Amino acid sequence: MRLMPSDKVYAALSAIPKAGRGVFASEKIKANGIIERCPVLVLPKKDYRTLKQTGLREYYFMWGKVTVGICFGFGSLYNHSYKPNATYEKYINEQIIEFRAIKNIEKDEEITVNYNYGYPNDNKKLWINSIAPA
């Protein structure tokens, strides 16, 4: 997979309470369109416990069964929604996460994913910030 910065998105302050920054569409993105392919820095297994105790806790992705990865590009800035307009797929061997629209996304609309492993319809309570389904 070829990786290059996406001109389809930009980061700005989110309107989601307590979310901080978010990722927004800089142009209309059609359903099933690729939004961004992000490289991932996979951390050694020994660093996982320490990382969970840092400010990066809310920015990493589980990578395989026992380690984590830090997603570059805007990958770690997509905010959570139980009604997302995008999803993501991890390519473990390639160390890439691909973000894809699951419905049409309008210009300047915030792009959100479901943090429950990218499954758009998974309404389980999240492990962070005590976020529960609305």
In a domain, 73, yes or no: yes
Q: CATH code at 106?
A: 2.170.270.10
C-alpha distances (whole Å) from 81 to each of 50, 57, 91, 127 are 27, 18, 22, 14
In a domain, 123, yes or no: no
**Non-local CB neighbours of 17 within 8 Å, separated by 6+ positions:** none
pLDDT digits (tens, 9 = 90+) for 92-109: 999 999 999 999 999 999
Owning domain of residue 41: 9-113
Split at pLDDT 50, 70, 90, the class of 122 is low
In a domain, 108, yes or no: yes
Is the pLDDT assigned to residue 90 strictly greater than 60?
yes
In a domain, 127, yes or no: no
pLDDT digits (tens, 9 = 90+) for 44-69: 877 767 766 766 666 777 887 778 88
In a domain, 120, yes or no: no
